[in-house]
Amino acid sequence: MASQELNFLYPTNPNPEFATKTSRRQRLAILRFSVPPTKIKRLVDFPPGSLTQIQINNSAYALCNHQGTLRCFDGRCPHAGGPLGDGDLDGDQIVCPWHAWAFDCKTGVNDFDPNIQLKTHTVIVQDGNIFIDLSE
């Protein structure tokens, strides 16, 4: 997941006829993808080798910094709901603290069953701050 500039993620539509030429469903779909990214923390406070659990609006996310590359996944283990961000970052594996299920920190794929994969979320770094795009 490459870092992106916030200014290019959420362009505004300068066309005043936009609302009259699109259906309500189309406008709602566009608004759904216009949710601004959520600020998580400062990059200097999250060095390589870090893993943390984040709670946003009753949803859990696991944020990891693997060799300087930031990645975010759904924070509940699909096995038993363990908090993945409270586990360990062992090499390139996120290890669940409850039953040691492991997931590749680059892809979210389970190390035992490749059909099990964590949902990923785009991570954006801008002005030294870490943001997660939850509109996906």
Neighbours of 6 (CB within 10 A): 15
Kindly state the helix (H) or strand (E) to which residue 20 belongs, with its residue range. Answer: helix 18-21
Q: What is the pLDDT of residue 135?
A: 79
Domain boundaries, the chain: 6-133
Q: What percent of the chain has pLDDT over 90?
A: 66
Name the fold adopted by 6-133: Rieske Iron-sulfur Protein (2.102.10)
Q: What is the pLDDT of residue 134?
A: 85
Q: If pLDDT is split at 50, 70 and 90, which confidence band does 57 have?
A: confident
Q: What is the pLDDT of residue 59?
A: 93
Helices assigned H by DSSP within 57-131 = none
Choice between 25 and 10, residue whose per-residue pLDDT is larger: 25
**pTM reported for the whole predicted model:** 0.73
